[in-house]
Structure 1
């Protein structure tokens, strides 16, 4: 059963939502039948690639709040992250455009490392204060999750990956995504926001039996004989 997650790596609730979802999935008895697909979303595509504002300054300008209100909001977010087992250092966050980070995720998905890319980028942004718009930094993060340094440069030079980012964003608009994180389960159910693990688990328990009914397991009685397998083993 496919679960699609629209997310921006600069969204603090997306990382919290990821962790809460993972907590729920770990408790789900049929988790081996779940396929997670990460989808790109940009909360603010107008942000420059070079940081010129702190997190506080950016939010004061974007939300029209006082500095005291913003400080309080960031403290609450940091506490919510802590409750999910995450260590946020929002004072170090570099406010930069997330486009190239999403292109790296799209490339990583072609190698089966989409989840690893999301996790590493979240940690880089919220915990380590790294620039997720800097190609050298992104290259290092890609290497850390097992991507080839030379090959992954295509994430930034091949227009295909920018196109895939934009395609995800357009798809989000078509299905009515207004904010992230946004979880779509089997294209039947959706969970919006960083819900508690219990909410994710309840939705999984509701959606999976419906999916299984339409996708029954093959329970063949197999009469075994000599055969060969793709790994070259013949016996």
Structure 2
């Protein structure tokens, strides 16, 4: 089985979703037969390289929410993160543009260092308050992840691997992905949002069992759609959401949409979860 995942480094739900997928696969009986391919996604392609506007204030203004609502949401996310061994330091977050960080990860893939560099860059933003649009910061994080300094500096001096990022973004647009994280199982079935571990595990097992069969369609629902968490969680839209009966149900997952994160998304809400064809 192949699992394709679209995510943005500047998305706290993507960090949580990545960890949930790791834990789900640890419990999956056929883990050695599953390949995971990570794809770039940008929530805001027009953002400046570094944006020191407090993210909570920016999102609260964008979605008409109060700062108190944003604090409560991020405190919930920090609690969820801690429960699976992640350290979400939301008060230290710095905004910016993730394009160059995604290019760095594609470089790392070329050199067999994708996992270590991705972990270092994500931890830098998620836990340490690093500005991942800053080139000097990316050089340091890339070297700490195992890349040669001259290779990172050469990357950042030009647009190497930019085509890889743009290809990932174009493919996301082609198949209708507007929110992240989005997991595409076996190149047929979409699961949106930072779903709980047991939900992801159930979806993986379900799709594994459907291999080589003519599956029944599965009901829509799940993570936040194109408006992200600017309200209650709902289903996303697009080509991966061509669905009907036979639902997998559990607590709703939350994600970031193309307009960024915000609103009052509650991961504990009871909504149906999408495993959509």
- Whether the TM-score (by the shorter chain) exceeds 0.5 is yes
Corresponding residue of 2:116: 116
Which residue of structure 1 lines up, in the alignment, with residue 135 of structure 2?
A: 135
Distance 1:28 1:212, change over 3 A: farther
Q: Does 1:91 align with 2:91?
A: yes
Do the aligned residues in 2 keep the contact of 1:92 with 1:128 (CA within 8 Å)? yes
2:146 corresponds to: 146
Larger relative CO (CA 8 A, sep 6+): 1 or 2?
A: 1
Q: Is this contact kept in 2: 1:107–1:161, CA < 8 A? A: yes
Report the counterpart of residue 15 of structure 2 in structure 1: 15
**Alpha-carbon distance in 1 for matches of 2:115, 2:2:** 14
CA contact (8 A) 1:38 1:115 kept: no
2:39 matches 1:39: yes
State the Cα distance separating 1:161 from its structure 2 match: 1.2
Higher normalized strand content (fraction of residues): 2
Q: Retained in 2: the 8 A contact 1:54–1:94?
A: yes
Q: Which TM-score applies when normalising by structure 2?
A: 0.72
Superposition RMSD in Å: 1.8
Q: How does 1:181-220 map to 2 (within 5 A)?
A: 181-211=181-211
Would the aligned equivalents of 1:189 and 1:203 in 2 still touch at CA under 8 Å?
no
The match for 1:24 is: 24
Q: After TM superposition, give the deviation of residue 108 of structure 1 in Å.
A: 1.2
Quote how far apart the aligned CAs of 1:64 are: 2.1
2:116·2:146 contact (CA, 8 Å) conserved in 1?
no
1:118–1:211 CA distance, 2 compared to 1 (3 A): farther
SS of residue in 2 equivalent to 1:70: helix
2 CA distance for matches of 1:93 and 1:193? 21
In 2: Cα distance, 1:114 partner to 1:145 partner: 9
Under a length normalisation based on structure 1, what TM-score does the superposition of the two structures give?
Answer: 0.84
Structure 1 segments unaligned to the other structure (5+ residues): 214-235
The equivalent residue for 1:78 is 78
Residue correspondences, number: 213
Q: Give me the whole-angstrom Cα distance separating, in 1, the residues matched to 2:59 and 2:195.
A: 23
More helix by share: 1
- Say which SS state the counterpart of residue 147 (structure 2) adopts: coil
SS of residue in 1 equivalent to 2:201: helix
Query: Which runs of 5 or more residues in structure 2 are unaligned?
Result: 214-277
Shift of 1:30: 1.6
Q: Which has the larger radius of gyration?
A: 1
Match status 1:175 vs 2:175: yes
Deviation string 1:69-103 (CA, Å, 9 cap, x unpaired) is 22222212222212222111111111111111111
Q: Deviation of residue 211 (structure 1)? A: 4.6
